[in-house]
Amino acid sequence: MKKLFPLLILLFTLAVPVESRADIYSYVDAEGTLHFTNTPSDPRFQYKVVVRGLGNKPRFARYGAQRGRPVDPKVYEDHIRKAALIYNVDPHLIKAVIKTESNFDPMAISEKGAQGLMQLMPGTASDLRVINPFDPRENIFGGTSYLRQLLSRFGGDVSLALAAYNAGPNRVEAKRGIPAIPETQQYVRQVMSHYHSMADVRPSSHGWRTSIPN
């Protein structure tokens, strides 16, 4: 009965029409007990369901990610630090991409199908051997690996790598610069803004060019 109680609460919540929304997260611990919460503070919690008021439509973020209630970014610090060391990518840049892409929501899904913290498309995730894009560690390592590929492809130019992350590398190469796509240009500005606010970025310290489009 103890294990069924949280489930009964969830079913009751779903059965009652409400005017507000609630994001529900759950996980099963080592003893088989099912846990629910609407304020996750542990990365083991996985997004379960969204309870919405009658007539409410799903909300989509600026770049297409449908966001729930984000987990405290601090729980990802270890994954980000390790991925940064393995792939030689500034951890502040990784955080800036995550902030822009999903606002640290591990279960974010875009209208186009991009998934997780760093919004990996299914095809890209497959190429990167990411089995579960909603797993924070897998997503961060996969997204950081992809960032490293793009940084190498565009000679370390952070702005071009970010433009390629958003619009695809072929468009950036065809334009020989940031494509004239408003969303992509705004995306680069936003990531770079977060990047600069998270760290005192000095290009000479790491050799990256950090030009921001006008």
Per-residue pLDDT of the chain (214 residues), as tens digits, is: 545 555 544 544 444 444 344 455 555 555 545 555 666 666 666 654 443 333 333 333 344 444 455 568 889 999 999 999 999 999 999 999 999 999 999 999 998 899 999 999 999 999 999 999 999 999 999 999 999 999 999 999 999 999 999 999 999 999 999 999 999 999 999 999 999 998 764 443 344 444 444 3
- Residue 142 · residue 118 · CB < 8 Å: yes
DSSP symbol at 57: -
- Residue 162 · residue 97 · CB < 8 Å: yes
User: Of the candidates 186, 176, 173, 191, which has an alpha carbon nearest to the alpha carbon of residue 213?
Assistant: 186
pTM for the structure as a whole: 0.65
Q: Which pLDDT value is given to residue 161?
A: 98
The token pair at 158 is: 């952070």
How many Cα atoms within 13 Å fall on the side-chain side of residue 65? 26
Q: Is 111 a catalytic residue?
A: no
Alpha helices in 48-135 (DSSP H): 77-87, 91-102, 122-127
Q: Which pLDDT value is given to residue 97?
A: 98
User: Of the candidates 45, 46, 38, 32, which has an alpha carbon nearest to the alpha carbon of residue 4?
Assistant: 32
Question: Within the chain, which residue ranges are assigned CATH 1.10.530.10?
Answer: 66-206
Amino acid code (one letter) for 203: P
- Decide yes or no: CATH 3.30.300.160 for domain 66-206: no
List the catalytic residue out of 31, 101, 138, 183: 101
Residues 6+ apart with CB under 8 A from 35: 6, 26, 27, 28, 29, 45
Amino acid code (one letter) for 49: V
Q: Which pLDDT value is given to residue 73?
A: 85
